[in-house]
A and B are shown apart, each in its own frame.
Chain A
């Protein structure tokens, strides 16, 4: 029933297909990419769209389509790991703060406030600059900036759920607090978590790309969409448009797909939020 709602809407179906396509490209990169991403073609350097190189080549004659496909691995992996870490950590801390209350709650919420006092991208910039450029540090930076969203979300849900009659009942029959939280309360928080994580994936992809664009994230020769755009940026003023257009399209399509899917999931899983859009 719910699945039908998700696929029934043409736009969200397209978004779902888009995400599957990018995931497939990332998983199967070595097999679906027409060329090796690092292979240089001396006869076709900086060449435009052609049959041999469908999306053109860069200054070294590397095939852009192949580089884009391989870049999907990095972008998705970083975004997915960051989201997974932030979700696990954020939800745990949120459950702790919401159920325990008291000084634990106070301490955690002040920390969350401090992180949220920074615009997310700016903080991610500072963290990557301090930790150094590496894929793991990029994941850490994005994860840290995303933790507060989940902590606040779960804490709010916990505060509500704690007062419900079924929580009362679970307490009365002698369940321990950890059991109540894990078995009885947390499952109710799953739908808003899924919605939030889907939307956060789009934001994470944008952050990876923007950080790499300014030279703070993924470093060459590893290909990443934002970093590829940065490499192509110098050629835009001399008319080599393909080096910028295609990586940007990849970013936009991926982010758009996650955002649209997130919006639909919210309508389906979290009916209270319907119509707020």
Chain B
């Protein structure tokens, strides 16, 4: 089967998955105890008022009708309203997405920059001290809650050494944000040559990115090590050794290139890790992203944003997994046949 057929088949699979996601999200938003009409009416409302609001919101209609209205609302970009900010959730999201994106990308960069070389080296020098350290990190990294590593880093780098800023957001209080192009402060500041903002943004990004990057590094290192080991044992690498090709070329040329292909498959898992980690890391550093927004809204008894956040992440997750499958199908033709 060609790539076209695979693409079509994989794209079609997205439809039932998204339908399932919206059913679950609908159930979480409307069917469970935190009755949105009660929330909207406030604590002092009489049952009559609540019933009236229920009628206005269409909550007295049959469930399938409600679901249909929910989905068509979503398709129009209606994620509901936040009672704590009094604005549409979508608008609040738009404002906060760049913060989450910046943190996510920076963490991914940290994880790849440290995790891939570590995984490769520990496979090449199997059972060396480096290998033991990397395996320990792989096992230990998954067991460490990222809110805890974040707080420990804060203690060391803020309280003890004084080299990190206090955990109060993306910029120092006296620095004006750079002109908005992408919303990612580091990139915007670099593009507009705003040196002050760039330094402050990097300074504030340092610890959160390190915390989240460390959490994601563990599964990445494990995967790189495992595939690299497998390939170093394979026949064609042995043949390359036997043919007397230089070690450097065999390991870092042929073997590494093929070892990185299966690593694509962990990207989906890693995205899931990153999203979960984002929530707690944003809480630790008061990073004004989506997770922080959703969780703080909940504290003020506003359940709308958190359910929209859950839905948003799930939809992203579906598309990331789609992209991963397509990339993998492109890189390894055997996959298309499954």
Tell me the residues in window 108-135 of chain A with beta carbons closer than 8 Å to chain B beta carbons.
Answer: 110-111, 113-115, 117-123, 125-127, 129-132
Contacts of B284 in A (CB 8 A): 233
Q: Which residue of A has the minimal Cβ distance to B18?
A: A117
Give min CB distance, B224 to chain A, whole Å. 13
B179 within 8 A of A: no
Q: Is the CB of A117 within 8 A of B318?
A: yes
Partner of A237, one of B139, B166, B272: B166
Contact B142 A117 (CB under 8 A): no
Q: Contact at A226–B272, with CB atoms within 8 Å?
A: no
> B217-247 interface mask toward A, CB cutoff 8 Å, 1 = contact, 0 = none?
0000010001000000000000000000000
- Interface status of A79 (Cβ within 8 A of chain B): no
CA distance A251 to B140 in the complex (A): 12
| A244 near B152: Cβ-Cβ < 8 Å | yes
**B148 A122 Cβ-Cβ under 8 A:** no
Residues of chain A contacted by B139 (CB below 8 angstroms): 256, 259-260, 263
**B310 cross-chain contacts in A, Cβ below 8 A:** 118, 122-123, 125-126, 129
Tell me which residues from 44 to 60 in chain B have a Cβ below 8 Å from any Cβ of chain A: none
Chain A binder among B26-34, B119-127, B328-336: B26-34
A236→B307 contact, CB < 8 A? no
A277–B311 Cα gap in the complex (Å)? 33
B295 contacts A214, CB within 8 Å? yes
Q: Cβ of A210 < 8 Å from any Cβ of B?
A: yes
Q: How far is the CB of A168 from chain B (nearest CB, A)?
A: 27
A147 within 8 A of B: no
Contact with B along A166-207 (1 / 0, CB 8 A): 000000000000000000000000000000000000100010
B103 at the interface (CB under 8 A from A): no
Specify which chain B residues have a CB less than 8 angstroms from the CB of A115 in the assembled complex.
Answer: 20, 24
Q: A113-B17, A119-B276, A126-B310 are in contact. Are A238 and B159 (CB under 8 A)?
A: yes
In whole angstroms, how far apart are the Cα atoms of A121 and B273 in the complex? Answer: 9
The dominant DSSP class at the A interface is helix
Task: Indicate whether B16 reaches chain A with its CB closer than 8 angstroms.
Answer: yes
User: Contacts of B148 on A, CB cut-off 8 Å?
Assistant: 229, 244, 247-248, 251-252
Report the separation of the CA atoms of residues A121 and B144 in the bound assembly, to the nearest whole angstrom: 15
Do B154 and A236 have beta carbons less than 8 Å apart? yes
Whether, in the assembled complex, B74 has its beta carbon less than 8 Å from a beta carbon of chain A, the answer is: no
Q: Which residue of B lies closest to A133 (CB)?
A: B298
Q: Is the CB of A114 within 8 A of B21?
A: yes
Contact with A along B278-312 (1 / 0, CB 8 A): 01100110000000000100110001001101100
Q: Are B143 and A130 in contact (CB under 8 A)?
A: no
Q: Contact between A252 and B151 (Cβ–Cβ < 8 Å)?
A: no
Q: A122-B275, A236-B154, A256-B140 are contacts. A117–B145 as well, Cβ < 8 Å?
A: no
Cβ-defined partner of A202 (8 Å) among B143, B151, B295: B143
Query: Could you say which residues of chain A place their CB within 8 Å of the CB of B252?
Result: none
Beta-carbon contact of A129 and B34 below 8 Å: yes
Which residue of A has the minimal Cβ distance to B316? Answer: A119
Complex interface residues of chain A between 224 and 260 (CB less than 8 A to chain B): 226, 229-230, 232-233, 236-239, 241, 244-245, 247-248, 251-252, 255-256, 259-260
Complex alpha-carbon distance, A131 and B31, angstroms: 10
Query: Is residue B155 contacting chain A, with contact meaning CB distance below 8 A?
Result: yes
Q: With the chains together, A111 CA to B276 CA distance in Å?
A: 22
Contacting A at CB under 8 A, from B141-164, are 142-145, 147-148, 151-152, 154-155, 158-159
B280 x A210 contact (CB < 8 A):
yes
B38 → chain A, closest Cβ, in Å? 12
Please name the residue on chain B nearest to A114 by beta carbon. Answer: B20
Q: How far is the CB of A260 from chain B (nearest CB, A)?
A: 7
Is A244's CB under 8 angstroms from B151's CB? yes
Closest to A233 in B: B151
The answer to whether B65 has its CB under 8 Å from any CB of chain A is no
Chain B residues in contact with chain A, CB under 8 A? 16-21, 23-25, 28-29, 32-34, 139-140, 142-145, 147-148, 151-152, 154-155, 158-159, 166-167, 222, 226, 271-273, 275-276, 279-280, 283-284, 295, 298-299, 303, 306-307, 309-310, 313-314, 317-318
5 A-B contacts (beta carbon < 8 Å): A117-B21, A119-B314, A126-B25, A236-B154, A277-B222
Q: Name A residues whose Cβ lies closer than 8 Å to a Cβ of B.
A: 110-111, 113-115, 117-123, 125-127, 129-132, 202, 206, 209-210, 213-216, 226, 229-230, 232-233, 236-239, 241, 244-245, 247-248, 251-252, 255-256, 259-260, 263, 276-277
